[in-house]
């Protein structure tokens, strides 16, 4: 007897649901008298239509022998791509993530022609509507005891969810464990993935606390990012981003044998380690660069200028920039003349002014100050706005000035005479000193690219005035 051909064929399409990030997928299925065929998972096509590049590492299959088998509601700390190999299900998804959408519900039927992408923390349940239903799913992490501790569950029968199960739960096949899961009012929402901040003790690391209060901050003593075995030091799939605020910044000491080794270890080797992890686990890597990767011959430096470092420090930072650009998801934030909580140029000048000194300060190195609050808010803006990945210059805005002009402003704002500051050339200033690394003379960074993302840094002069008021 001739069989009637099966034809589910339709266009590949991805649509949003009522739960943020939960995406419904229409799959073309081609059938004939033999059965049917479909491309169940095709990365490039789905990325083009907006599915996240979630990096599946495991494929699981649930076989459900009888109609009415019901499983869930379970939320695991990883993303899933669910599809049907045979039969049909009624699916129910509940947002169990911390946030405004907690408790939202979406239901639909899935057969071979539909799939669904379930983001981390969204609870998943299904009911088999046909015997011998095959339910398959890709996940982007492996089971572990630590991951299991983050599982979140809610009871299938919770009336506040208002799920209209096609087959009454009293007649469905459920496990005893699923029957005894907590009600929504008793569920602790799943926290978002972690953000790791390295270099927690530095002035930038300390400033990042204000913008990323829930991040995990770590020092070199707690996590040596330059050491072997870094990949085993954390459950990296439970992280979303790494903000690398660790750096070796002793510009002159970097010219010594010991300092050279430390500069390359922290500014290059450690960054290479983080870049490999970010690439493998699909994390966003945020790395901070410096104007010292350039020789300072251009009046204004743009992001795509070719590296031309003058010093060992600059060379090690340029190497770090190169490897930091290898993860698909990266922000390299190039900055300079950083002022924050700790010893810095502004505090030194204020202290000299208050003590009645009349310092010599170089007048041929030109740039802008960068206050750490500007650097940290700019970092948060890039991440949260989902700005295109790449390199961004970020300093405070305003007219460029020399170090001696800035020092004069510090003296004046501190109630002293600006004329107490004597401007001298870099050559004159360092003429009697040994072991001094060469400095770029022009350090002004073009801010057009980051401004185009919607972030405009405030003027460095007003930021300086406010900073000094806070120091009084």
pLDDT of residue 295: 96
Question: Rounded to two decimals, what is the model's pTM?
Answer: 0.86
Tell me the backbone φ, ψ of residue 185, rounded to 5 degrees. -65, -20
- Distance of CA 144 to CAs 118, 147, 151, 321, Å? 20, 5, 11, 34
Cα–chain-centroid distance for residue 46? 22
Q: Is the pLDDT of residue 415 over 80?
A: yes
Question: Is-catalytic flag, 292?
Answer: no
Query: Where does the pLDDT of residue 9 fall: very low under 50, low under 70, confident under 90, or very high at 90 and above?
Result: low
Residue 1 in this model has a pLDDT that exceeds 60: no
In tens, the pLDDT along 184-198 reads 999 999 988 899 999
Lookup: tokens for 284: 């966003």
DSSP label of 190: B
Q: What is the pLDDT of residue 5?
A: 52
Q: Which CATH number fits domain 194-471: 3.60.10.10, 3.90.1150.10, 3.90.660.10, 3.40.50.720?
A: 3.40.50.720
434: pLDDT confidence band, cut at 50, 70 and 90? Answer: confident
What topology is assigned to 13-186 in CATH? Jelly Rolls (2.60.120)
Average pLDDT over residues 12-20: 96
Alpha-carbon gap, residue 399 to 328, rounded angstroms: 34
Quote the distance between the C-alpha of residue 239 and its chain's center.
9
Whether 137 is catalytic:
yes
**Which tens digit of pLDDT belongs to each residue from 132-187?**
999 999 999 888 887 888 899 999 999 999 999 999 999 999 999 999 999 999 99
Q: Which of 30, 74, 381, 389 is catalytic?
A: 74
The residue with tokens 């469905």 is 172
Residue positions counted in the chain: 472
Angle (deg, nearest 10), helices 312-324 and 257-264? 10
Reply yes or no on whether the pLDDT at 221 is more than 60: yes
Q: Is the pLDDT of residue 413 over 50?
A: yes
Given pLDDT bands bounded at 50, 70 and 90, which one contains residue 31?
confident
Please, what is the average pLDDT of the chain? 94
DSSP string, 162-181: ----SS-TTTSB--HHHHTP
pLDDT, one tens digit per residue, over 262-272 is 999 999 999 99
Q: How confident is the model at residue 33, as a pLDDT?
A: 82
Catalytic residue among 81, 117, 135, 137: 137
Provide the residue ranges of all domains of the chain, joining segments of one domain with +. Answer: 13-186, 194-471
Q: pLDDT tens, 275-293?
A: 999 999 989 999 999 999 9
Contact 313, 254 (CB under 8 A): yes
pLDDT digits (tens, 9 = 90+) for 346-402: 999 999 999 999 999 999 999 999 999 999 999 999 999 999 999 999 999 999 999
Residues 6 or more apart in contact with residue 442 via CB below 8 angstroms = 296, 297, 298, 299, 300, 301, 366, 367
Average pLDDT over residues 304-327: 97
Beta bridge partners of 197: 217, 243
Mean pLDDT, range 84-110, rounded to an integer: 96
Could you identify the residue written with the tokens 């339910």? 135
Check if 13-186 and 194-471 are the same fold: no
| Token output for 83 | 């599809």
Q: Which two tokens stand for residue 391?
A: 């390199």
Please check the confidence at residue 471 and state whether its pLDDT lies above 90. no
């Amino acid at each position: 007897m001739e069989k009637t051909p099966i034809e589910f064929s339709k266009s590949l399409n991805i649509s949003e649901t009522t739960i943020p990030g939960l995406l419904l997928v229409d799959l073309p299925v081609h059938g004939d008298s033999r059965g049917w065929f479909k491309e169940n998972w095709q990365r490039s096509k789905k990325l083009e239509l907006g599915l996240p590049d979630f990096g599946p590492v495991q494929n699981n299959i649930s076989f459900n022998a009888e109609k009415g088998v019901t499983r869930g509601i379970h939320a695991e700390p990883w993303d899933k791509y669910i599809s049907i190999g045979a039969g049909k299900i009624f699916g129910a998804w509940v947002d169990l993530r911390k946030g405004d959408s907690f408790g939202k519900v979406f239901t639909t039927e899935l057969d071979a022609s539909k799939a669904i992408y379930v983001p981390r923390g969204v609870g998943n349940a299904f009911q088999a509507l046909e015997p011998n239903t095959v339910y398959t799913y890709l996940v982007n992490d492996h089971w572990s005891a630590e991951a299991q501790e983050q599982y979140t569950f809610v009871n299938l029968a919770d009336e506040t969810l208002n799920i209209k199960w096609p087959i009454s739960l009293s007649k469905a096949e459920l496990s005893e464990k699923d029957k005894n899961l907590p009600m929504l009012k008793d569920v602790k929402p799943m926290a978002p993935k972690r953000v790791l901040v390295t270099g927690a003790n530095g002035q930038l690391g300390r400033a990042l606390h204000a913008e990323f209060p829930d991040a995990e901050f770590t020092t070199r003593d707690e996590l040596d990012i330059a050491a072997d075995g870094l990949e085993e030091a954390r459950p990296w799939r439970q992280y979303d981003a790494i903000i690398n605020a660790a750096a070796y910044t002793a510009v002159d000491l970097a010219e010594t044998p010991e300092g050279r080794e430390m500069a390359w270890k922290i500014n290059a080797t450690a960054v290479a380690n983080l870049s490999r992890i970010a690439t493998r686990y699909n994390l966003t890597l945020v790395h901070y660069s410096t104007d010292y990767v350039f020789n300072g011959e251009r009046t204004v430096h743009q992001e795509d200028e070719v590296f031309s470092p003058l010093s060992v420090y600059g060379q090690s930072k340029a190497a770090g920039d190169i490897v930091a650009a290898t993860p698909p998801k990266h922000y390299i934030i190039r900055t300079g003349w950083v002022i924050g909580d700790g010893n810095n140029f502004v505090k030194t000048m204020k202290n000299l002014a208050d003590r009645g000194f009349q310092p010599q300060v170089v007048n041929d190195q030109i740039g802008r100050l960068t206050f750490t609050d500007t650097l940290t808010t700019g970092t948060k803006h890039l991440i949260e706005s989902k700005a295109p990945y790449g390199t961004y210059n970020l300093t405070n805005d305003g007219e460029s000035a020399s170090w001696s002009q800035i020092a004069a402003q510090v003296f004046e704002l501190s109630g002293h005479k600006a004329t107490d500051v004597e401007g001298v050339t870099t050559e004159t200033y360092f003429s009697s000193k040994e072991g001094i690394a060469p400095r770029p003379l022009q350090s002004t960074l073009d801010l057009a690219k980051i401004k185009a993302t919607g972030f405009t840094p405030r003027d460095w002069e007003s930021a300086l005035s406010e900073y000094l008021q806070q120091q009084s």
